Chain A
Amino acid sequence: MPAEEDLSRLHCRLDGLLEARGITLTALAEAVGVSLVNLSVLKNDRAKAIRFSTLIALCDALECQPGDLFEVRAHGTPGSPR
């Protein structure tokens, strides 16, 4: 299991995808059936894990692949505080 600090290297690109598709976080939450609080946690890189069901629902709603949603930043890149 990766160390706690390594998790900050995973960045969720939800912000960019929402902007590109003109969807609000609230609308996405309704579309995928995930609470706004949880989507906000994911968007702000504070999530520690994601269910496959959530990932599939997000990819379906945003018409993208998991790789479009996440990127792993290189070591030493400042990430969002967790």
Chain B
Amino acid sequence: MGSLTIRPQSTSRGDTIPLAILMLSGAGIATWTLASAAGRIAELVGGGPVRVRAQLAGTDAGARIAAGAPELPIEIETARLVVPDPTMTTVVPLVLEQVLLGLVVLIVIACLLAVAASIMRGRVFSSANTRLVGAAGAAALLGAWLVPLCATVGANDAIAQLLGSGLVGAVFVVEPFALVSIAFVVAIAITTFGVGDRLRRDTDGLV
């Protein structure tokens, strides 16, 4: 039996233009992320000194805020360290961070582009779109947890190398608010698409 769903003739221009802009932006973000990840990986495996961003919780330091100004006591939250000769234990997690970041962005944007394309064809709610939104959400959640984890492992190792000792002052930073926010948005999106798909099935063949 064929599908009896009566699809809307087409989306309006008001729907199409923002969707097209969204799709173009998504493609641009994906390209930029992949290019910068590739550049970072090239820097990491290039063999030279490597810059490593480290979260340093409550580390005291002194800094001149302006030219000629006296040195002021400051508290560092984030610092970019330069590791002259990074070992594999520093490089591998940092490369993995970039690979994961690229992969997550690619999956999320590919899924959302597919959903946007489906909407532009006039099919908003379907089991395929629900699965795509779920896959994008799961990838985003995993990425939000795993990418900072890899970055922290690399940064901790870089600090240990620079200090010639074990772990000092580095922390694993995952913003709980960001994670909860992503989880909330993902749950709402999956529920919306799931309920929409059920409503579509319920009204299939209704005249």
A residues bordering B, Cβ < 8 Å?
34-35, 37-39, 41-42, 46-51, 54, 81-82
What is the distance, in angstroms, from A5's C-beta to the closest C-beta of chain B?
Answer: 10
CB of B207 closer than 8 Å to a CB of A: yes
Mostly, the A contact residues are loop
Q: B4 — which chain A residues lie within 8 A by C-beta?
A: 41, 46-48
CA distance A79 to B207 in the complex (A): 19
Determine which of A35, A39, A47, A81 lies in contact with B205 in the assembled complex, contact meaning CB atoms within 8 Å. A47
Q: Interface extent on B, as a size class?
A: under 10
Complex contact A47–B1 (CB within 8 A) = no
CB of B206 closer than 8 Å to a CB of A: yes
Complex contact A41–B1 (CB within 8 A) = no
CB-contacts of B1-36 with A (<8 A): 1, 4, 6
Complex contact B1–A38 (CB within 8 A) = no
5 extra A-B contacts, CB within 8 A, seeds A35-B6, A81-B1:
A34-B207, A38-B207, A49-B203, A49-B207, A50-B206
Q: B6 — which chain A residues lie within 8 A by C-beta?
A: 35, 37-38, 41
